[in-house]
Amino acid sequence: MEQGSLRPIQVVAVTGGKGGVGKTNVSVNLGVAMARLGRRVTLLDADLGLANVDVLLGLKPRHNLKDVLDGSVGLADVLIEGPMGMRIVPAASGMQEMVRLGPRQHAGLISAFSDIEHQMDVLLIDTAAGISDEVVSFLCAAQEILVVVCDEPTSITDAYALIKVLNQRYGIERARVVANMVRGDEDGLKVFEKLQSVTERFLDIQLIHAGSIPFDDHLRRAVRKQRAVVELYPMSKAARALLRLAETVDSWPIPAVASGHLEFFVERLVAEHRAG
Ligand SMILES: Nc1ncnc2c1ncn2[C@@H]1O[C@H](COP(=O)(O)OP(=O)(O)OP(=O)(O)O)[C@@H](O)[C@H]1O
Ligand SMILES: [Mg+2]
C-alpha cells in the first residue's frame, strides 16, 4: 500500500466492566502479537488506573494527550515505542476531556490523529473498568468491542451490565468476548456461554467468542518484569493463546467505508458523548 493513501484502519476497544479482569494485559499482548504479524499497531491507553500500559511495559512517557490538547506538542511527540515497534499513546488526565471537547480542540484532535493515520494499521484502545461516559464513548467510537471476562460471577454480571447499556442505550449490535484466566479452552467456552445465555434472553445483541486465555503464572512473571508475556515467554500457554487471539482479530473484516478512518473515530468519540 502506498503511504498516505487512506486505507481503512482497524479500531478495536478492549473493555470488561469489572476491574482486574485482564483488559490491559490483553490489550498490550494483543498489540505486540499483532505487531509480530507485521501490523503497525498503535495502542491508546484510555485508562488512568495504576497498572496502566506504560507501567506494564516499564516505559516512561515524556508527554501525553493533555499536552496535545493544550497544543504544546503534536501527537507524534506523544507516541512512545514499545515491544515489536508497537506504538503507545500514554494515558493522560486529558482522556476525560477528550470526549468533552470544544469545537476548536475537537478539530485539533482530529488533525492530530490524521497526522499519524498513515502510520498505522490497527488502533487498539485499552479502556478503564466500569461504565463511565468516557468508557462508553471509546467503545461506541470503535469498530469492534472486545469484552474481557473471567469465570467469576461479578465479572459476568459486570460484563452483562456493560453490554446491556451498549445495546439498549447506544444500539450496539455486536460484541466479541475473550474469556481470560480460565483453565483451558473448554472452560473458556463455558464462561462465554454463561454470558451469552443471559444476553440472548434479555438483549438484542450478537456475542461472538473471540478466544480464551488460560490462567498462566508466566503472565504474572512477565508483569513483574514489566514485559509482554508474548515477547518474554512466547511458548507459554497464555502467550500462545494471545498469539492465536491476534490472528483471530487480524481476520475480522475491516469496514472499507468512513468508519475505517481515524477522523471518523474522533468524530464519533465526541459525538457519542453528546448523544449520551
Ligand atoms: N491470563 C492470566 N493469567 C494469570 N494472571 C493474569 C492473567 N490475566 C491477568 N492476570 C493477572 O491479573 C492482573 C490484572 O490484569 P490487568 O491489569 O490486565 O487487568 P485490568 O482489567 O486491566 O485491570 P484494571 O481494571 O485495574 O485496569 C495482572 O497483573 C495479572 O497478575
Ligand atoms: Mg487496566
Cα gap 125→268, rounded to integer Å: 14
Helix residue ranges per DSSP H, the chain: 23-36, 53-56, 65-70, 75-78, 94-98, 103-117, 133-141, 153-168, 185-202, 217-224, 229-232, 237-251, 262-275
Is the CA virtual torsion 91, 86, 123, 206 positive or negative? negative
Residue 120 Cα to ligand 1 middle (Å): 26
HSE of 18, CA atoms in CB hemisphere, 13 A: 18
Tens-digit pLDDT profile for the chain (276 aa)? 344 456 688 999 999 989 999 999 999 999 999 999 999 999 999 886 766 888 899 998 888 877 887 778 888 888 999 999 999 988 876 666 666 766 666 677 777 777 788 889 999 999 999 998 888 888 988 999 999 999 999 999 999 999 999 999 999 999 999 999 999 999 999 999 999 999 999 999 999 999 999 999 999 999 999 999 999 999 999 999 999 999 999 999 987 766 567 777 887 877 655 554
- In the prediction, which pLDDT does 4 show? 43
Candidate of 54, 191, 220, 229 to mutate for ligand 1, largest count of ligand atoms within 8 Å of Cβ: 220
Residue 31 Cα to ligand 2 middle (Å): 14
Cell numbers linked to 210: 473471540
Cα gap 151→156, rounded to integer Å: 7
Of the candidates 75, 81, 120, the one whose C-alpha atom is nearest the C-alpha of residue 94 is 75
- In the prediction, which pLDDT does 1 show? 39
Candidate of 219, 221, 229 to mutate for ligand 1, largest count of ligand atoms within 8 Å of Cβ: 219
Task: Tell me if 74 CB under 6 Å of ligand 1.
Answer: no
| Ligand lying closest to the C-alpha of residue 21 | 1
Residue 127 Cα to ligand 2 middle (Å): 7
Question: Rounded to the nearest 5°, which phi and psi values hold at 80?
Answer: -120, 150
For ligand 1, atom 16, the nearest C-alpha belongs to: 22
- In the prediction, which pLDDT does 21 show? 97
Residue 257 Cα to ligand 2 middle (Å): 31
- In the prediction, which pLDDT does 68 show? 80
- In the prediction, which pLDDT does 64 show? 83
